Chains A and B, each alone.
Chain A
Amino acid sequence: MEQKQLKKIDIIFGWDDKCTPIQVVEKTIKKTPENIILDMIDSGLKGRGGAGFPTGLKWKFCRNEDSDTKYVICNADEGEPGTFKDREILDRVPEKIFAGMTICGFVIGAREGYMYVRGEYNFMLKALDKKIELFNKQLRDLKVDFQIYLRSGSGAYVCGEESALFESMEGKRGEPRNKPPYPTVAGYNNKPTVINNVETLVYTSEICRMGPEQFKALGTKDSRGSKVFSVSGDTPIAGIYELELGMPLKDFVEEFGDGDTKAIQVGGASGHCVPRKKFNDTIIGFEGIPTGGSMMIFNSSRSMYNVLHDYLEFFTEESCGQCTPCRIGCQQLLKGIEAVKKGERPPTYLDDLKRLTSTMKIAAKCGLGQSVANPFTSIVDNFREEIIY
Chain B
Amino acid sequence: MTNTEVLIHELVEKHGKTRNALMPVLQGVVAREKFLSEEAMIAVARELDLSAADVYGTASFYTFLDTKPRGKNILRVCKTISCHMQGKDAIIRAIEDHLMVKVGETTHDKKFTLLTANCLGWCHKGPVLLINDEVFPSMTPEKAIEIIEDFSKKTN
Within 8 A of A (CB), among B105-140: 117-126, 130, 133-135
Contact in complex: A154, B118 (CB < 8 Å): no
Pick from B61, B63, B133: contact of A122, CB under 8 Å:
B133
Could you tell me the distance in whole angstroms from the C-beta of B26 to the nearest C-beta in chain A? Answer: 8
Residues 256-307 of A at the B interface (beta carbon under 8 Å): 265, 269, 296, 302, 306-307
Q: Given A82-B81, A233-B82 in contact, is the A314-B121 Cβ separation under 8 Å?
A: no
Q: Tell me the complex Cα distance, A155–B130, Å.
A: 12
Are the CB atoms of B123 and A169 closer together than 8 Å? no
Count of chain A to chain B residue pairs whose CB atoms are closer than 8 Å in the complex: 120
Q: Which size class do A's interface residues fall under?
A: 35 or more
Residue of B nearest to A313 (CB): B79
A296 touches B82 (CB 8 A): yes
Asked if B119 and A233 sit within 8 Å, CB to CB, the answer is: no
Given A122-B133, A154-B62, A169-B20, do A83 and B121 touch, yes or no (CB 8 Å)? yes
Q: In the complex, A314 Cα to B133 Cα: how many Å? A: 22
Would A172 and B58 count as touching, CB distance under 8 A? yes
B21: chain A residues within 8 A (beta carbon): 171
Q: Could you mark each residue 51-76 of chain B with 1 if its beta carbon is under 8 Å from any beta carbon of chain A, else 0?
A: 00000011001111100000000000
The one of A86, A151, A152, A171 that contacts B19, using a Cβ cutoff of 8 Å: A171
Report the Cα distance A86→B124, complex, angstroms. 14
Complex Cα–Cα for A170 and B85 (A): 37
Q: Are A151 and B24 in contact (CB under 8 A)?
A: yes
Residues in B neighbouring A121, C-beta threshold 8 A: 121
With A84-B122, A154-B26, A171-B22 given, can you name 15 additional A-B contacts, CB distance below 8 Å?
A81-B118, A83-B119, A84-B123, A87-B121, A120-B117, A123-B135, A154-B65, A168-B23, A169-B20, A169-B23, A173-B61, A232-B82, A232-B124, A238-B124, A239-B124
Q: Provide 19 A-B residue pairs closer than 8 Å at the C-beta atoms, listed in order of the A residue.
A: A83-B121, A84-B121, A120-B117, A151-B23, A151-B24, A154-B64, A154-B65, A171-B20, A172-B22, A173-B57, A173-B61, A231-B124, A238-B125, A239-B124, A269-B81, A296-B123, A310-B84, A311-B81, A317-B118
Binding site for A on B (CB under 8 A): 18-24, 26-27, 30, 57-58, 61-65, 80-82, 84-85, 117-126, 130, 133-135
